């Protein structure tokens, strides 16, 4: 078995569909690669592409897309709201099944080696692939954005891991790495009070909330750092948001669903909402989700989970998480492995 890998390259172009089509056409020209999603954002002037397939084919597809993007995107003419530093801004590799994180680290290194050698592209390694502490977090690498690159690249601290340490005005720089799959998941409440959603988010998210004294002032520790009350879950980002003018939601990123799963956060939100006299009205998954994440939820919500097949468990998860309330939830399109035709 070859394994299954997801790659989610971000390109600094979100307005010209012809350029994005040329990039994605190059990627899916590689046999065995499936295009799962293309998310173009005009305001951000950025497109997020999701592909999946066997590791070697995904690597070839990422490089093929990079080649076209570097030919078609000119960063000297780029503007947009999202932080960015290059035509091919970031290329993460994500293990889905029968492929390890270490294997994805190797893929990211091979991507960086090839892209720097063939295209002259400066590449930083980040996340699980990072070789320096200041390069683990993508926001730290992006700090200063494209406009600050000419000065940043003069600093030996920011010498790229691969490729020339020089400012390439047309292409900028790229970050590549291996990371866990991120599940974007929102839970709607029967209230229009965003503050209520935010209070729930603060109790759940890893970073928790800021400690305050009796006068409502932030408590500063002896080290000069603001003290926080940790939240309930690991690897969870969360905030209160508005789904529409009448509906507040807890908006979340599950950074590692093996540590914090969908049903646990959903039930915690239901419990916290009940204490406020509120109810959960719907769940919403943004983008695609790995099969195991829904199977875990299905086992929780299905009392006969031991005798159930994958389809029955997925259906139990859809009902338990209320994923079919806002819109039709088609598991054949929304589950990564099923959309890729691997099962």
Q: Is 208 helix (H, G, I), strand (E, B) or coil?
A: coil
How large is the C-alpha radius of gyration of the chain?
21
CA atoms of 289 and 50, how far apart (whole Å): 12
CA atoms of 254 and 181, how far apart (whole Å): 8
SS (H, E, C) 9-74: CEECCCCCHHHHHHHHHHHHCCCCCEEEEEEEECCCCEEEEEEEECHHHHHHHHHHHHHHHHHHCC
CA atoms of 307 and 293, how far apart (whole Å): 18
Scored b (16 or more CB within 10 A) or e, 73-85 reads bebeebebebbbb
Look-up: residue for tokens 């891991």?
161
CA atoms of 139 and 137, how far apart (whole Å): 6
Catalytic residue among 82, 114, 263, 310: 82
Q: Where are the beta strands (DSSP E) in the chain?
A: 4-7, 10-11, 34-41, 46-53, 88-97, 123-127, 174-178, 183-189, 209-210, 228-229, 236-244, 247-254, 280-286
Q: Tell which residue, 36, 153, 60, has the closest CA to residue 115.
A: 60
End-to-end C-alpha distance for the chain, whole angstroms = 12
- Per DSSP, the residues of 244-259 read ETTEEEEEEEES-TTT
263 is catalytic: no
CA atoms of 85 and 74, how far apart (whole Å): 12
Report yes or no: 249 and 242 within 8 Å, Cβ to Cβ.
Answer: yes
CA atoms of 159 and 169, how far apart (whole Å): 16
Largest pairwise CA distance in the chain: 63
Give me the active site residues, please.
82
């Amino acid at each position: 078995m070859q394994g299954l890998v997801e790659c989610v390259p971000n390109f600094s172009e979100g307005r010209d569909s012809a350029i994005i089509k040329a990039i994605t056409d190059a990627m899916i020209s590689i046999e065995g690669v499936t295009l799962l999603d293309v998310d173009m954002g005009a305001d951000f002037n950025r497109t997020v592409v999701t592909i999946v397939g066997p590791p070697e084919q995904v690597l070839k597809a990422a490089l093929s897309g990079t080649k076209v993007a570097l030919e078609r995107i000119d960063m000297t003419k780029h503007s947009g709201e999202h932080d960015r530093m290059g035509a091919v801004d970031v290329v993460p590799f994500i293990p889905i099944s029968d492929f390890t994180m270490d294997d994805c680290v190797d893929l990211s290194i091979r991507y960086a080696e090839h892209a720097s050698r063939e295209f002259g592209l400066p590449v930083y390694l980040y996340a699980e692939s990072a070789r320096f502490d200041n390069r683990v977090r993508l926001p730290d690498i992006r700090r200063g954005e494209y406009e600050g690159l000419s000065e940043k690249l003069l600093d030996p601290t920011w010498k790229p891991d691969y490729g020339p340490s020089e400012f390439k005005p047309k292409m900028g720089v790229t970050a590549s790495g291996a990371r866990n799959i991120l599940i974007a998941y929102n839970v709607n409440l029967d209230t229009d009070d965003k503050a209520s959603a935010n209070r729930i988010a603060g109790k759940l998210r890893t970073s928790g909330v800021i400690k305050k004294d009796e006068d409502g002032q932030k408590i500063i520790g002896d080290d000069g750092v603001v003290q926080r009350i940790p939240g309930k879950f690991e690897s969870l980002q969360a905030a209160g948001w508005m789904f529409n003018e009448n509906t507040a939601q807890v908006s979340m990123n599950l950074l590692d669903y093996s540590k914090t799963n969908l049903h646990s956060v959903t039930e915690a939100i239901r419990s916290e909402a009940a204490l406020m006299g509120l109810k959960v009205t719907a769940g919403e998954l943004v983008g695609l989700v790995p099969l195991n994440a829904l199977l875990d939820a299905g086992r929780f919500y299905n009392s006969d989970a031991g005798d159930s097949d994958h389809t029955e468990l997925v259906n139990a998860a859809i009902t338990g998480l209320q994923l079919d309330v806002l819109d039709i939830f088609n598991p054949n399109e929304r589950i990564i492995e099923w959309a890729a035709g691997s099962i």
